[in-house]
């Protein structure tokens, strides 16, 4: 007998069906026992009558026991229907029960929202926390939105291409997570901070319209709403413009919100970096009219960022976005595209350069960033020189990209949107950890598997590594 699903039992009225799932409540009335069974589809009521062989076994049931039942679908007696659930007009009269797995009492309730429970406890028992209806809803919507995104871009001639997780360590802003190589002693892979270089190489390869729902890894300083690993929507387009990319992102956001969150009010704004700093003293302005209204979404595109900023502590320049961004030279209100002029400014007055960077802010949170890229090796090398790198070091770390650009590279640009942060805002959640299945804690630890953790000495020996200071 094929398995049926709890929420859809009404479609099989009068038939014998098989259900599998969790027992989430039991009500023993002496001659009859009622229980609620939950599976991925939802809930249904199951009934055990005293004259059935399975009745005594049903008395042993506890909350969250895992069971298989078989029985007949009947209409509920008049007046006992439950309009709050999809199967509320029906019940299953059980004639067979098998308890597949017993459950001991849970360390906390999963019937409520769970915000009042400590994060340490919730993350330690994350597999139980995920039984919470709110988190089940969040992850289902996450799945649906990812499917929507894939269909949105597939219909617009984009190709989804996976890029490597084991990559090369290069200076892109944050610290890399390093992976030692057993086969090449003393050498390392790095987990990608983003697919940045690979997607630019895909433009060299001629794919023109790439996207990916990508996993990214950054060993950043601890901050409340950051994760060591996160998910972003990554885009790159050849022969494009800033205007085309921003219009595409706006179309995606409007289409997505209309489908999944039609009750929300949406507005789009566009500001230059200079306007945002002057009027709001931040490059992440919250432009909602009523900042307490969770159904108000104020998107803001920002552009015209400075290319570099001076780090007083390190006594050197840093880039605001990333080094692959194309510098923008403006004189007397006009954009200068002459390569010689740009190279001269990079060498003599880098602080005067703007960039072809653009960010997307939502309700005061940065959810995306992108740029038109440097596709000229000389400009790219000059940018890294401004950051303090020697030419030999640049050519060593980025030889693959510099070499690739010598074989014909279309002008290109792209953007990346942080999907965890976007989902948290759309779902009115206080943290991205509420929309990720197995997040790390605020201290970048996995409390469920107790990682990071020590490894065996033999493993270290295989990798030619030694722990110098165990403290």
Q: Are residues 40 and 189 in the same domain?
A: no
Sign of torsion, CA 224 229 230 233? positive
Q: Number of folded domains in the chain? A: 2
Q: Are residues 75 and 178 in the same domain?
A: no
**Residue 172: per-residue pLDDT:** 63
Q: Are residues 94 and 140 in the same domain?
A: no
CA dist., res. 421 & res. 414, Å (int) = 19
Q: Is residue 162 part of a domain?
A: yes
> Is residue 206 left, alpha or beta, with left meaning phi > 0 and alpha meaning psi from -120 to 50?
left
Instruction: Give the contacts of 333 (CB within 8 A, at least 6 positions apart).
Output: none
**Residue 396: per-residue pLDDT:** 86
CA dist., res. 171 & res. 327, Å (int) = 18
Q: How many whole angstroms from its chain centre is CA 275?
A: 30
Instruction: Give the contacts of 143 (CB within 8 A, at least 6 positions apart).
Output: none
Contact call for residues 271 and 300 (beta carbons, < 8 A): yes
Written as six digits, the tokens of 259 are 């489908």
Contact call for residues 202 and 409 (beta carbons, < 8 A): no
What is each CA distance from 345 to 97, 308, 324, 374, 381, in whole angstroms? Answer: 78, 12, 17, 15, 14
**Residue 469: per-residue pLDDT:** 76
CA dist., res. 90 & res. 76, Å (int) = 5
Cis previous bond, 452, omega within 30: yes
**Residue 435: per-residue pLDDT:** 98
Q: Are residues 266 and 362 in the same domain?
A: yes
pLDDT tens string, the chain, 471 residues long: the values are: 899 999 999 999 999 999 999 999 999 999 999 999 999 999 999 999 998 999 999 999 999 999 999 999 999 999 999 999 999 999 999 999 999 999 999 999 999 999 999 999 999 999 999 999 999 999 999 999 999 999 999 999 999 999 999 999 987 667 999 999 999 999 999 999 999 999 999 999 999 999 999 999 999 877 767 899 999 999 999 999 999 999 999 999 999 999 999 999 999 999 999 999 999 999 999 999 999 998 999 999 999 999 999 988 888 899 988 899 999 999 999 999 999 999 999 999 999 999 999 999 999 999 999 999 999 999 999 999 999 989 988 888 888 999 999 999 999 999 999 999 999 999 999 999 999 999 999 999 999 999 999 999 999 999 999 998 765
CA dist., res. 133 & res. 129, Å (int) = 9
For residue 416, give the nearest of 266, 229, 210 by alpha carbon: 210
Tokens 């489908």 correspond to 259
Q: Is residue 402 part of a domain?
A: yes
Q: Are residues 369 and 316 in the same domain?
A: yes
**Residue 239 CB-half CA count within 13 A:** 4
CA dist., res. 40 & res. 53, Å (int) = 28
Q: Are residues 80 and 162 in the same domain?
A: no
Q: Is residue 58 part of a domain?
A: yes
CA dist., res. 12 & res. 4, Å (int) = 9
**Residue 397: per-residue pLDDT:** 86
**Residue 329: per-residue pLDDT:** 97
What is each CA distance from 317 to 237, 308, 353, 392, 397, in whole angstroms? Answer: 29, 6, 12, 19, 19
CA dist., res. 451 & res. 123, Å (int) = 12
Range of the domain at 375: 131-436
Q: Are residues 72 and 154 in the same domain?
A: no
Q: Are residues 31 and 154 in the same domain?
A: no
- Per DSSP, 373 falls in state B
Q: Is residue 167 part of a domain?
A: yes
Contact call for residues 415 and 249 (beta carbons, < 8 A): yes
- CATH code of the domain covering residue 197: 3.30.930.10
Q: Is residue 126 part of a domain?
A: no
């Amino acid at each position: 007998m094929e398995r049926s699903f709890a929420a859809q039992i009404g479609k099989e009225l009068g038939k014998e069906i098989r259900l599998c799932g969790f027992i989430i409540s039991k009500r023993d009335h002496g001659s009859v026992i009622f229980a609620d069974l939950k599976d991925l589809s939802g809930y249904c009521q199951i009934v055990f009558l005293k004259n059935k062989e399975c009745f005594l076994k049903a008395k042993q049931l506890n909350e969250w026991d895992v069971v298989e039942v078989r029985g007949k679908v009947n209409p509920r007696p008049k007046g006992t229907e439950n309009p709050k659930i999809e199967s509320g007009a029906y019940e299953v009269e059980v004639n067979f029960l098998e308890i597949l797995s017993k459950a001991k009492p849970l360390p906390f309730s999963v019937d409520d929202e769970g915000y009042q429970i400590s994060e340490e406890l919730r993350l330690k028992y994350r597999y139980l926390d995920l039984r919470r209806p709110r988190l089940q809803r969040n992850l289902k919507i996450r799945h649906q939105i990812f499917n929507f995104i894939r269909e949105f871009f597939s219909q617009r001639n984009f190709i989804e291409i996976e890029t490597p997780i084991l990559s090369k360590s290069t200076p892109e802003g944050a610290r890399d997570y390093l992976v030692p190589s057993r086969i090449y002693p003393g050498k390392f892979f790095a987990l990608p901070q983003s697919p940045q270089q690979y997607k630019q190489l895909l433009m060299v390869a001629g794919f023109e319209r790439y996207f990916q729902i990508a996993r990214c890894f950054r060993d950043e300083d601890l901050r409340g709403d950051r994760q060591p690993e996160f998910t972003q929507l990554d885009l790159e387009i050849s022969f494009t413009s800033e205007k085309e990319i921003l219009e595409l992102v706006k179309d995606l956001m409007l289409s997505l919100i209309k489908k999944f969150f039609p009750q929300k009010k949406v507005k789009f704004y566009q500001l230059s970096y200079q306007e945002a700093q002057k009027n709001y003293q931040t490059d992440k302005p919250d432009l909602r009219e009523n900042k307490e209204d969770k159904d108000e979404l104020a998107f803001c595109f920002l552009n015209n960022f400075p290319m570099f900023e001076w780090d007083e502590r390190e006594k050197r320049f840093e880039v605001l976005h990333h080094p692959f961004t194309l510098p923008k030279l403006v004189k007397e209100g006009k954009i200068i595209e002459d390569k010689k002029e740009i190279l001269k400014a990079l060498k003599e007055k880098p602080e005067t350069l703007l960039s072809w960077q653009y960010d997307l802010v939502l309700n005061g949170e940065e959810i995306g960033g992108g740029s038109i890229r440097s596709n000229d090796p000389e400009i790219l090398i000059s940018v890294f020189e401004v950051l303090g790198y020697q030419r030999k070091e640049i050519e060593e770390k980025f030889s693959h990209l510099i070499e690739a650009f010598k074989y014909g590279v279309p002008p290109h640009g792209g953007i990346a949107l942080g999907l965890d942060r976007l989902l948290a805002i759309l779902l009115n959640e206080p943290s991205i950890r509420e929309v990720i299945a197995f997040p790390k804690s605020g201290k970048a630890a996995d409390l469920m598997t107790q990682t990071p953790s020590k490894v065996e000495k033999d493993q270290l020996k295989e990798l030619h590594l030694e722990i110098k200071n165990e403290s």
